[in-house]
Structure 1
């Protein structure tokens, strides 16, 4: 089973069926906040909605296509992070993430993304990681900026959110640009 310890507070765990209820509870607690930026929130209404997804997410890991992981903060589920599949021909992937409303402002997601970058570049030996954020999602955009990603462009009307399209900012990180050092608290400043 996949478990990746970031530090004494934050760790990543491959999702299991027993995570469905606490994950749904976290989504329900954060639904209005998450719905502002994520197109899938309305489709996650019950435990049954995870019945097909969790085996797919686990198969992604076992098929060497990255992972979808629960982010735990002091053991409590705080959100999710994962790769949107891996293009092995180009040694590249994209990274997506979300965090519950009450877990914001603690540096959890910055640490989780940092850990995923270490895993992508040092374990998987990938060449490129991309992150796309809503152009007005300042909190999400701060993470790749803080971690030294290059803003590469704009994907106009790149995602449909319930009743409208919105633009996405594209950020990229190449392996030779990545800081090989372990996570450092100065990244949060």
Structure 2
């Protein structure tokens, strides 16, 4: 079980008991999630869907196929945000971060701190060598998370992401490499 802490928050591996808090987080932030997290949104619209989602993500975590972490307030146990470590390639030891934060927690540096902590976890515990963040250039907060965690801009990925009911978007690729100290 992965539990990491900072300030009044914890970062935890997804658990089956997270279904209700996750469903509440999705419901409260559906408008923020629809463009870049449409699948997560669709899979968590009801408590039953959220339970199926969390059960699936727990299995994926155990099988090291995808790692989903919740960021929660310690006092309330409410979900403040999510951080995925996905698109894992164990041959090249590479993975991609995806993250979202609840509207009431934005602008507080929480996502930046969580990605920093989880980057260390990915390198030191999982043995990964390259971490990626793929973000739209206009998503300034997400670009800041990458830059503030020393990710380097690599290139523009043409037509990389197609939001629901929109044309494909070019996305920016940032990478961070493990450096032995």
Report whether the alignment pairs 1:92 with 2:91: no
Paired with 2:113 and 2:135, the residues of 1 have a C-alpha distance of: 17
Distance 1:6 1:118, change over 3 A: farther
Paired with 1:42 and 1:51, the residues of 2 have a C-alpha distance of: 13
- How far is 1:89 from its partner? 0.7
1:5-16 to structure 2, matched below 5 A, reads 5-16=4-15
Please tell me whether the aligned partners of residues 82 and 97 of structure 1 are also in contact (alpha carbons under 8 angstroms).
yes
Aligned length: 177
Please tell me whether the aligned partners of residues 128 and 172 of structure 1 are also in contact (alpha carbons under 8 angstroms).
yes
Partner residue of 2:172? 169
- The alignment's TM-score, normalised by the length of structure 2, stands at 0.88
Q: Secondary structure at the match of 1:106?
A: coil
Paired with 1:3 and 1:10, the residues of 2 have a C-alpha distance of: 14
Range 63-72 or range 114-123, more displaced: 63-72
Paired with 2:87 and 2:36, the residues of 1 have a C-alpha distance of: 21
Gaps of 5+ in 1: 181-189
Q: 1:79 aligns with which of 64, 81, 94?
A: 81
1:1-189 to structure 2, matched below 5 A, reads 2-40=1-39, 41-74=41-74, 75-164=77-166, 165-176=168-179
Segments ≥4 residues shifted beyond 6 Å: none
Q: Secondary structure at the match of 2:38?
A: coil
- How far is 1:85 from its partner? 4.3
Gaps of 5+ in 2: none
